[in-house]
Homo-oligomer: A and B are copies of this chain.
Amino acid sequence: MLHVAVVCAGYNSSREIVTLMKSVLFYRKNPLHLHLITDAIARNILETLFRTWMVPAVVVSFYDAEELKPLVSWIPNKHYSGLYGLMKLVLPSILPLSLARVIVLDTDVTFSSDIVELWAFFGHFSDKQVVGLVENQSDWYLGNLWKNHRPWPALGRGFNTGVILLWLDRLQQTGWEQVWKLTAKRELLTQTATSLADQDIFNAVIKEHPELVHPLPCVWNVQLSDHTLAERCYLEAADLKVIHWNSPKKLQVKNKHAEFFRSLHLTFLGYDGKLLRREPFGCPNHFPPGAEQLQQALAQLDEEEPCFEFRQQQLTVHRVHITFLSYQPPPPQPHDVTLVAQLSMDRLQMLEALCRHWPGPMSLALYLTDAEAQQFLHFVDMSPVLSVRKDVAYHVVYRDGPLYPVNQLRNVALAQALTPYVFLSDIDFLPAYSLYDYLRASIEQLELGGRRKAALVVPAFETLHYRFSFPKSKAELLTLLDAGSLHTFRYHEWPQGHASTDYSRWREAQAPYRVQWSAHYEPYVVVPRDCPRYDPRFVGFGWNKVAHIIELDAQEYEFLVLPEAFSIHLPHAPSLDISRFRSSPTYRDCLQALKEEFHQDLSRRYGSAALKYLTALQLSRSRA
């Protein structure tokens, strides 16, 4: 079992560490124990990520970076890593005492070899050595980079702390805490601050106590900083082990072999993390919680069964990376509403329009491959509309399997909504410009905060035109409707879906009115955040919203249609799943089987009260 510690804080580092870990896991052959020192943001993201990643023979422990802050906050520091960089100095005070040795990594390194080879260097430490480091590969500590450059003291070129072998129990014995503090305080008498965070202090200590350091071969930390001399290292050694993107320019750094290094890094950036769920040889029974049961359940599926793909998709545990991009949660407000929706790559172009129509918080689940997640990142960076919106939380659910797991995606987005209310929408709908304000006002007026269980219905319309002038008001909408440029949603194909909304009553309505559930009803609704989840058995096309609305009705939510609310569906090509539904009788049979199971579950949970849903379904079928 090898131990690895990483300090990780914030959204960007939480993405970086995933790529680092992919590269480590790709080459490793041993069980690993990860010790992650995180802020609240990174912990939230990485707990979900590792729980859903289910990598065998990987244990993850979290430590609260807050606890370490007081230990290092007295040190003035100019490095971009801030306080978090300095925390590597005080790891011995937070890691368990039982932990004798640990490899400490920065999030901006990429492995191209098995980490056990690095671990093996502990075996070469002399009795006195407590820290293994690679020499610094720029002239920084020589102090000749530019005029008046006065770096901290260092032994020769100094050492880089992106990759550290730390012999923890020996550090304790040598009184490490006293040693580095004394050195730091003394240097700070003449230096205003650390420039390179922990690295300056490590180097100052080593300058004084050279016996503490075990120098590592340079290939274990090939530094791609701006003035790097790394070339000298690997031209001789030929075999790269760890690459360190230690320029603030990261992948954009210019360098003789930049393309080569970039391609190594991009390999893991786009690598399908699911493939790392493989079990290393020779260490069986290292399954993470749930993984073994899952494997057994999957193994019991009959591949010849016609609905095999459905069964498999339902069982699939997708890796989930919540809040993939920088995000500022909305301030708590009693009537606030988050728009909840899900999408895949082919709907990215909806996001800008959606942002223009909905100025409030959003929680969106994106179903992407690892490579697509990077394209998505680029897309948001490039968009002036999206890049400034910090109240939109994007949750990446990684693709796995042939059917779109629509309800699993909705549940991820729903679980991450932080306001008391959610507007459960679909990505192809644009809400009325006023909807966000109107919903908050309505929630307040209707006093939904109390014990009243209500689902506010937002009537749905559709346009068949690509270019179309969005109505500014209900009056304008009605005019367009009468002119035939707008229709009630799916009026031609599936009027049952929204029949209960009673569009003709809505035309005249001045106040919210209550409507009754009827078969196939699937309105877009605003409900409290703690509403029932979507039924994850519905994958692909069909019945995914219908089942949720039945659930709301069974739990006695009132359906209240809002007289001024509306949202409009924009045209798009039929999805792959709807095409399969239409063309494949097997697909339709499987959906039918799911519906029947759903009704059985419903009557188990709600008894005879659930009978009405089955009867309604049968009635509507006999009429059709």
Residues of A within 8 A of B (CB): 29, 234-235, 238-239, 257, 259-260, 263-264, 266-267, 270-272, 275-279, 281-282, 345-350, 352, 369, 371, 375, 378, 385, 402, 428, 464-467, 492-493, 570-576, 579-580, 583
Contacts and interface: CB of A to CB of B under 8 A. Distances in A.
Given A279-B260, A281-B260, A346 B573 contact: yes
Given A260-B278, A272-B371, A573 B266 contact: no
Contact of A352 (B29, B493, B579): B579
Contacts of A277: 259, 263
A235 B283 CA distance: 11
Contacts of A580: 349
Contacts of A571: 464, 571-573
Given A345-B346, A570-B573, 4 more contacts: A29-B238, A263-B277, A267-B271, A346-B573
B275 A266 contact: yes
Counted per complex, copies of this chain come to 2
Contact of A275 (B267, B349, B402): B267
Contacts of A378: 402
Given A259-B279, A275-B263, A573 B574 contact: no
A238 B402 contact: no
Contacts of A576: 348-349
Contact of A371 (B259, B369, B467): B369
A275 B350 CA distance: 31
Nearest to A351: B579
Contacts of A492: 465, 467
B349 A579 contact: yes
Nearest to A369: B371
Contact of A573 (B235, B375, B573, B583): B573
A29 B263 CA distance: 14
B352 A583 contact: yes
Nearest to A347: B573
Contacts of A348: 576
A119 to B, nearest CB: 16
B349 A574 contact: yes
A465 B464 contact: yes
Contacts of A278: 259-260, 263-264
Nearest to A309: B382
A20 to B, nearest CB: 18
Contact of A281 (B234, B371, B574): B234
Nearest to A280: B260
16 contacts: A235-B281, A238-B282, A260-B279, A260-B281, A267-B272, A272-B371, A345-B346, A346-B346, A349-B574, A349-B576, A352-B579, A378-B402, A464-B571, A466-B493, A466-B574, A573-B573
Nearest to A352: B583
A316 to B, nearest CB: 14
A130 B16 CA distance: 50
A500 to B, nearest CB: 22
